[in-house]
Chain A
C-alpha cells in the first residue's frame, strides 16, 4: 500500500443498504490489517433521502471523509444518485452502478448493494474469502445465501 489511502464512496437512498455495504467493505479492509476509517451520516437521511458513506483504507488514514474529487471508486446503488455524488470521483476514478448488474439474475433484488461490492472487489487487493467472510459477519444468517450469490454475480460479471 502506498501512503495515499484508497478512497471509496458508496451512495444511494435511505433503505438501500448503503451503510451495510460500507460496513462490509470496511470489515474486509480491517481483516486485511490495513488502517481503515469509515464515515456516514445517520438521522434525517434515514427517511428515504440521499445517503452516502465513505470508506478509506491504506497504510494510514487521517480524515474519515473522502475529499471531493479524490474517490478512486464511486459505488452508486440508486441510478438517480449518480449526478449527486459524481463530484466525489477523481479523474480516472471508477464508477460502479446498477446498470452493470443484470438485476434479473439476482436471487433477491435487495442484494444489489452486495452485487455492486462484487464488482468493486475485482479492483481491490483483498482475497475473495475475506469478502465472503465479511458479507456473512455483517448480515443475518437467513440472508447469507442470497447475498453470497449476489456477490459472486457481481464479481464474475463483465
Chain B
C-alpha cells in the first residue's frame, strides 16, 4: 500500500519513520535486512519485506550484525535493525567492525526509547557512536529518515565504515510526509570477494594499524561534517541560538520559533567548528537534547560556551512544553500525568495459568522480557526480577547458588520462547556446567510467537519473517542435547492442577529440570493456523 501511493515520481505519502527506513532501503538497493524485533524498531524489517526487500529475523542482534558485516564484506548493502538495548548485545561485533574495511554498506539502526514507552532502560546510544568510533546520523522526521538512510549508505561506502542511524520512539512511530526520490546515491557494487587480510582479520598485528586508520577516517568525516555535512541552519534572532538534533528539533521550532537553530544531522563525529561558529553568532546559545547531556558535554569540552538543560529534563522524553521550560530555566515540579490503565495479560492468556501456579506455590521467580513481564503486576505479583533479555536463567542460577537451601529450592527461571532463542541458550549451558546444589527449574513459556512486539516469527516457530516454512529449532531436543534429562512439555491451560503439580515436583527434586509450557498466544492462534495452511498448500 505504501509503495502504491509512492509509485509516481515526486509522490508523497504519510509514513512512519520505520516505514521510511524501509522505503529508503529499497531505493538504496539494500541486499539484506536483518535484526531482532524490538519496540520501536520492529516495523522496519516488516515493511522492508512487504516492499519486496529480503528481510529476516535473526536469533539476536549480535548475530544480525555479524550477518550484516558479512554482507558488507561481500560488497553488498546491509541494513541491521534493533532497539537501543539490542545494541548492547551487538556491541561486540560493532566495536571491531569499525576497525575493518567494508566494501559495501552497513547501516545499523538503533531505535532508542527515551521515556521507556516499552523498554527496561532509557540508555542514550549516542554514547555508542562515540565509544565505538562509528558515525551516527539522527533524523528528526520521516522525510529525514528517508534521506538520512540513503545518505548513511553513501557515507558508509565512501569511508568504508559502518554507520549508526539513531532513531527515537517519536521518530520511529510518528507519521509525517515523505517525498520519494529526493536523494540519489551511487548504484550498489556487484558483490564479490577479495582477500584483504589486514583490513578484515583483526589479530593484534592488523588491528593496531586498523585503529589508527579508523581515527584518521573519523577526522576526515568530522572535517566533512564541518564543511558540508547534513546540518541545517535556521536563521532567526541573534539573541537566542539553539543547537539541537533529532526530534528535539521539532519541539525547539515550536517552543521558540524566533530562535536561530543549528540542527545537527550527524551527531558523531560532531561538526565542532560549525557549532563554535554558531554559538559565537548569538548572544546566548542553548543545547536542547533528549536524554544524556551528550552534545552539551562535547561543546563544553571544545570550549564552546553553551547552556544546557537542568538534570530533571534528562529523565523521560522531551516535548514542546518541556523545551519551553528549559528555555525559561524553569525547574519547578512538573504536573504529574493522570495515571492511565496499565497493560495486563490478555483474558485467557496461557501465561495467566503459569503465574497463578508460581504464586500459589510461593516461588521466587527470576523473570525475563516479553508479555510475561506483566506477571509482576497485580493480580499475580509473581515475578521477582527483570534485567535484560535472557537474564532469567543466569540470575536464577546466581540466586540458587547463594540463598539458604529452603529459599534456593523455590527459585524458578521463567523465560519466553523468543527470548530463550535470543539469549537463554547460553544460560542453560551455564546451568549444565555449573549446576547449583539444589538443582534448578527453568520454565520456557512457549506461546509460539514473539508476542510483545507484535507476533513476529523466531527460529522456534519454524517460519521465516514472511511466515514461510524454514528450519525449526525444537526446544525439547535442544535442551536434551545439552544433557538435561528432566524435560517436560505441557500445556499449562489444559489441566491446571497437573501443571501445578509438575512444577511442585520439579522443585522438590535437586535436579536440573526444564519445563516447556507450550500453548499458542491467543492473539496469534488464528494467524499461525493461517500461515500453516498456506505453507501446506504450497508444499502440496
Q: B239 in the interface, Cβ–Cβ < 8 Å?
A: no
Contact between chains at B250 and A62 (CB < 8 Å): yes
Q: Which residues of A contact B117 (CB under 8 A)?
A: 41-45
Q: A155 in the interface, Cβ–Cβ < 8 Å?
A: no
Contact between chains at A37 and B371 (CB < 8 Å): no
Kindly provide the distance from the CB of A110 to the nearest chain B CB, expressed in whole angstroms: 16
Contact between chains at B40 and A30 (CB < 8 Å): no
A36 to B13, CA, bound (A): 11
| 8 Å CB contact of A48 from B170, B175, B321, B344 | B344
Q: Which residues of B contact A13 (CB under 8 A)?
A: 341
Within A39-94, which residues are at the interface with B (CB < 8 Å)?
39-50, 61-65, 67-68, 80-81, 83-87
A105 to B414, CA, bound (A): 47
Bitwise interface map of B from 244 to 261 toward A, beta carbon under 8 Å scored 1, else 0: 000100110110000000
A50 to B341, CA, bound (A): 5
Q: B405 in the interface, Cβ–Cβ < 8 Å?
A: no
Contact between chains at A43 and B341 (CB < 8 Å): no
Chain A: CB-nearest residue to B174: A64
> Given known contacts A30-B14, A37-B175, is B340 in contact with A43 (CB within 8 Å)?
no
Contact between chains at A39 and B174 (CB < 8 Å): yes
A38 to B142, CA, bound (A): 11
Q: Which residues of B contact A63 (CB under 8 A)?
A: 247, 250-251, 254, 319-320
Kindly provide the distance from the CB of A33 to the nearest chain B CB, expressed in whole angstroms: 10
Q: Which residues of A contact B453 (CB under 8 A)?
A: 43
Kindly provide the distance from the CB of B112 to the nearest chain A CB, expressed in whole angstroms: 13
Q: Which residues of B contact A114 (CB under 8 A)?
A: none
Contact between chains at A44 and B118 (CB < 8 Å): yes
A61 to B117, CA, bound (A): 23
Chain B: CB-nearest residue to A22: B175
Would you give 8 A-B contacts (Cβ < 8 Å), ordered by A?
A: A26-B175, A40-B174, A43-B453, A48-B341, A62-B254, A65-B170, A65-B320, A86-B338
| 8 Å CB contact of A41 from B173, B250, B251, B342 | B173
Chain B: CB-nearest residue to A61: B176
Size range of the chain B interface in the assembly: 35 or more
A42 to B37, CA, bound (A): 13
A62 to B371, CA, bound (A): 34
5 smallest CB-CB distances across A and B, nearest first, come from: A43-B118, A50-B340, A47-B343, A49-B343, A64-B174
Most A CB atoms within 10 A — which of B174, B345, B371?
B174
Q: A103 in the interface, Cβ–Cβ < 8 Å?
A: no
Q: B413 in the interface, Cβ–Cβ < 8 Å?
A: no
Q: Which residues of B contact A23 (CB under 8 A)?
A: 175
Q: Which residues of A contact B39 (CB under 8 A)?
A: 42-44
Q: A98 in the interface, Cβ–Cβ < 8 Å?
A: no
Chain B: CB-nearest residue to A31: B14
A83 to B251, CA, bound (A): 26
Q: B339 in the interface, Cβ–Cβ < 8 Å?
A: yes
Q: B380 in the interface, Cβ–Cβ < 8 Å?
A: no
Contact between chains at B174 and A37 (CB < 8 Å): yes
| 8 Å CB contact of A40 from B173, B321, B341 | B173
A68 to B334, CA, bound (A): 12
Q: Which residues of A contact B14 (CB under 8 A)?
A: 26-27, 30, 36, 38
Kindly provide the distance from the CB of B299 to the nearest chain A CB, expressed in whole angstroms: 23
A39 to B168, CA, bound (A): 12
Contact between chains at B341 and A80 (CB < 8 Å): yes
